[in-house]
Structure 1
């Protein structure tokens, strides 16, 4: 499994594109924030109480309400004020997967990447390496973004995308696919109630891990 250094996340290294979601859109499942963090794995792991650090290996599943993260390796660190920082890695042929329901019934955000970082304090998810994130209406893809690195802010529902060699696009470019607003809900006659992606005029602030 290829590891991507944290230098990938430094400003100025890669061109960035920010896509904001339309104002007034419903957020990711708000109830998830107060739910406990649950972790299970096939091959076990270790818990360091003094360092507040937990590591798991082999078909690891992390859940927090409707949020479900699957990885080959997981490193969870607890901060002094009770929040968690999660670092997940996949393996060759099997990426880290993420899925979380939105407040709109039937909608969800799901994504795949070689590595993933999840911070419960900022409620952000960083997809690193061959990253693909989709908004689903039922089983239908309503919007899709791809890039080398994708940062998703659950609270503001803003995607920040970076291109580069580890982008799924052959040329290393970021890519956005926005389905016609009525297409995702067909054959229903009423318009979709989902959010719309639109360009933002400024970059979202970066979080230093």
Structure 2
């Protein structure tokens, strides 16, 4: 996809993110810390290919990758292990079947969910890149607390900071970035699966990123 250039769309994206940052609270609850030390499990319907020498696996057909509470679903997935034991996953969907992501947070009953045309996960940096028609939500029980949509969303698991940009691959025809923030009291009441003592903590965004997806080498 084309790399965005300064335009009214990108200006609106920056303004949107600036306004959002001003609304969000400073407190953060991190993603499930225990996931970092869990093994990676992969399954698929149509099998794949394992390259032992290069520590690379390719899977096709309803591929499911899990790592602790993290769950990643895609039609195609390329997973690599680096020499120092970290994993990189490149996942892609198909028309009508986007890549799906979910991971629990260290707040009872809360999780991060997202969909996109492509997804890149890097366990070293603990980041997830949602590329193309990206939608990411913070859910509390069955209720959506926050929602971000754009052409590209980068989620940092460690800090729980989101970077978002608009463009032609945004779910919105105009290419705009869109953020929906539910009132805290409303989201706490709707998310009855979590204890009342754990107040919902909003997400943070940062508008510094590139929209061109990285390609496996």
TM beyond 0.5: yes
Question: Which of the residues 116, 122, 132 maps onto 2:135?
Answer: 132
Post-superposition offset of 1:197: 3.8
User: Closer, same or farther in 2 for the Cα pair 1:185/1:170, shift >3 Å?
Assistant: same
User: Structure 1 or 2: larger strand share?
Assistant: 1
Is the aligned partner of 1:150 residue 2:153? yes
- Runs of 4 or more consecutive aligned structure 1 residues displaced over 4 Å after TM superposition: 10-14, 16-21, 187-192, 204-209
Per mean C-alpha deviation after superposition, the further-off stretch among 189-198 and 174-183 is 189-198
Whole-Å Cα distance in 2 between the matches of residues 199 and 110 of structure 1?
Answer: 16
Gaps in structure 1 of 5+ consecutive residues: none
Aligned to 1:193: 199
3-state secondary structure, aligned to 2:134: strand
Aligned length: 202
1:196 positional shift: 2.1
**Shift in CA distance, 72/123, structure 1 to aligned 2, threshold 3 Å:** same
Q: Is the 8 A contact 1:184 1:192 kept in 2?
A: no
Structure 1 residues 199 and 33 mapped into 2: Cα distance closer, same or farther (>3 Å)? closer
Instruction: Classify 1:93/1:104 alpha carbon distance in 2 versus 1 (closer, same or farther; 3 Å).
Output: same
CA pair 57-51 structure 1, distance change in 2 beyond 3 A: same
Find the residue that maps to 1:182 and give its secondary structure. helix
Q: What SS does the corresponding residue of 1:68 show, helix, strand or coil?
A: strand
- Which structure shows the bigger proportion of residues in helix conformation? 2
1:73 correspondence with 2:79: no
TM-fit CA distance, 1:208: 7.1
User: Take 2:89 and 2:6, find their aligned partners in 1: how far apart are those partners?
Assistant: 25
Corresponding residue for residue 38 of structure 1: 41
Deviation of 1:12 (Å): 6.9
Q: CA deviation at 1:205?
A: 9.9
Map of 1:95 onto structure 2: 98
Decide whether aligned partners of structure 1 residues 11 and 79 sit closer, same or farther in structure 2, where only a CA change above 3 A counts.
Answer: farther
How has the CA–CA distance of structure 1 residues 199 and 67 changed in structure 2, closer, same or farther, with 3 Å as cutoff? Answer: closer
Give the gaps of 5 or more residues in structure 2.
none
| Structure-1 separation of matches of 2:208 and 2:117 | 24
The equivalent of 1:171 in structure 2 is: 174
Separation in structure 1 between the aligned mates of residue 209 and residue 141 of structure 2, nearest angstrom: 29
Please give the TM-score of this superposition, normalised by the length of structure 1. 0.86
SS in 2 for 1:168: coil
